[in-house]
Structure 1
Amino acid sequence: MILLSFDIEEFDMPFEYGKTISFEDQLSISTEGTGKILSLLKQHQIKATFYCTANYALNKPDIIAEIVANGHEIASHGYYHSDFKVEHLRQSKEVLEQLTGKKVSGYRMARMMPVDEKEIFQAGYVYNSSINPTFLPGRYNNLKKPRTWFYQDKVLQLPSSVTPTVRFPLFWLTFHNLPLGLIKWMCNRTYKKDGYLNLYFHPWEFTNLNQPERFNFPSYVMKNTGNHFADRISNFIAWAKSKNYLFGTTEEFVKTIK
């Protein structure tokens, strides 16, 4: 099964590059991208998981309602994207459950940062998808973590997919910068080895990020964004479906694990 997931947050990434952006713009950019994602998923008739911050959800309840109405899963991405307190684990879950009327089973820490699994369990989550099991200088060093799903402190861990052996990350930046044929080859090899793919993206990738004066992003972040990225993901989905690979929500996948 291929697990497509999208982290919906207040778009605060420009702050990391020395730029400011209003909260209204943060919300509107994420919302624009989410609309494109929902259209894409509807076009291909597949379901996905949306990890949402409570902050975004409270300000855009209509978007959350649309996601749920389209049959997708809502999971937690924390309360705020750039602020974390342990109590936010339970509080974000409660907000999302109140807004959706559905149980929230999954959690993903903002920026894939470490989180205490015991606290995840205490907050009532079934699974956690906050590990990128690779090495990225200045960001992750998770080479000692298992590459595929495992249990820790009573919580199912679902690391982001990386290739076997060399652990090349199959994450959002890969889909922007490498040739699509190479991405398909790596994904195919990983799928055959692991039996699933856990891929994550962000709504703002589906908007035009090639605005250096506004965002100050490096070229590898701006490359193939907006409609170009929507076309790439659509091409990837069509390719995977041609190989009879199934798509589903993370919650659906978790239920298949004994």
Structure 2
Amino acid sequence: MILLSFDIEEFDIPNEYEADLPLEEQIRVSTEGTIKILDCLLKNQVKATFFCTANYALHAPQIIERIRDEGHEIASHGFYHSAFVISDLKKSREILESLTGTPIYGYRQPRMMPIPENAVYEAGYRYNSSLNPTFIPGRYANFSTPRTAFVKNKVLQIPASVTPLLRFPLFWLSYHVLPSFLYRRLCRYTHNHDSYLTTYFHPWEFYRLSGHPEWKLPFIIRCNSGEKMAKRLNDFILYFRKRNIVFITYSEFEKLNCTKP
């Protein structure tokens, strides 16, 4: 099983590099990228989970409608991507449910930062996908946490996949910097070991970031963006489809695991 997901949010990364990007432009970049993602998923008849900030959803309701209408799962990515208070957990879920008319079961904290599990449960979520169980200097130090799904405080934790033993991360950045064939083989190895794989990307990766030096983004973020990333996503899907490995949503995975202690 492949749990493919996308974090749909305001494109605020330039702000981390002291490049001020207006909210309207942040929404436009994310929207263009999301359209490319949806076109690829539709062509390949694959369903995915979209973790959306309420702020983005309120500014791009037509995109949220398309995600829902094409059968994908919508989950919460908080209210704002660059700011967080505990009350945003429930507030973002309620706004997304109002916009989509569907229940919101899952949550992912922006930038995969720690979040109290009791607060996630009290806000009405069934699963949380906010853990990257690896070590990345200045970002993650999670070598002692479980690599695979587990229950904590009545919430199913669905970590991002990392390779066995070395815990090499298989998230979006790895697919940018590694040769594509090597990334897919590492994913297949991990899938065979764990019986499933989770990975995530962002819509702005499918926008031609190299065309905007004024955003001051480092090369590891800009490389293989735009159409190159769209091709990589298509190749990733085809690679697993040819091996008869199915794609499921996070809520479908949660239902399969909800009886585990």
Class of the TM-score when normalised by the shorter of the 2 chains: over 0.9
Aligned equivalents of 1:205 and 1:109: distance in 2?
A: 19
Q: Which amino acid aligns with 2:55?
A: N
Is 2:177 the partner of 1:169? no
Which deviations, in whole Å up to 9, do the C-alpha atoms of 1:86-144 show, x marking residues without a partner? 00000000000000010000000000000000000000000000000000000000111
Q: Which amino acid aligns with 2:27?
A: L
Residue in 2 that maps onto 1:180? 180
The SS at the match of 2:138 is coil
Q: Which amino acid aligns with 1:7?
A: D
User: How do residues 98-177 of structure 1 correspond to structure 2 at under 5 angstroms?
Assistant: 98-177=98-177
Aligned equivalents of 1:238 and 1:160: distance in 2?
A: 21
The SS at the match of 2:247 is coil
TM (normalized to structure 2)?
0.98
Residue in 1 that maps onto 2:217? 217
Residue in 1 that maps onto 2:67? 67
Q: CA deviation at 1:253?
A: 1.2
Residue in 2 that maps onto 1:30? 30
Aligned equivalents of 1:56 and 1:230: distance in 2?
A: 21
Aligned residues: 258
Residue in 2 that maps onto 1:238? 238
Residue in 1 that maps onto 2:253? 253
Q: Which amino acid aligns with 1:69?
A: D
Which deviations, in whole Å up to 9, do the C-alpha atoms of 1:198-224 show, x marking residues without a partner? 100000000011145321111111110
Q: CA deviation at 1:184?
A: 1.6
Aligned equivalents of 1:219 and 1:59: distance in 2?
A: 29
Which deviations, in whole Å up to 9, do the C-alpha atoms of 1:176-232 show, x marking residues without a partner? 110111112111110011111110000000001114532111111111000000001
The SS at the match of 1:85 is coil
Which deviations, in whole Å up to 9, do the C-alpha atoms of 1:132-176 show, x marking residues without a partner? 000000000011110000011111000000000000000001011
Q: What runs of 5+ residues in structure 1 fail to find an aligned partner? A: none
Aligned equivalents of 1:132 and 1:46: distance in 2?
A: 24
Residue in 2 that maps onto 1:196? 196
Q: Identity of counterpart residues, as a percentage?
A: 53
Residue in 2 that maps onto 1:205? 205
Question: Once superposed, which parts of structure 1, at least 4 consecutive aligned residues long, lie more than 4 Å away?
Answer: none
Pick which of 210-219 and 54-63 moved more: 210-219
Aligned equivalents of 1:58 and 1:24: distance in 2?
A: 12
Q: Which amino acid aligns with 1:48?
A: A
Aligned equivalents of 1:132 and 1:16: distance in 2?
A: 20
Is 2:29 the partner of 1:10? no
Aligned equivalents of 1:236 and 1:53: distance in 2?
A: 25
Q: CA deviation at 1:256?
A: 1.1
The SS at the match of 1:151 is strand
TM (normalized to structure 1)?
0.99
The SS at the match of 2:31 is helix
Q: CA deviation at 1:69?
A: 0.2
Residue in 2 that maps onto 1:19? 19
Q: What's the RMSD between the two structures over aligned residues?
A: 0.7
Which deviations, in whole Å up to 9, do the C-alpha atoms of 1:49-108 show, x marking residues without a partner? 000000011111111011000000000000000110000000000000000010000000
The SS at the match of 1:210 is helix
The SS at the match of 1:7 is strand
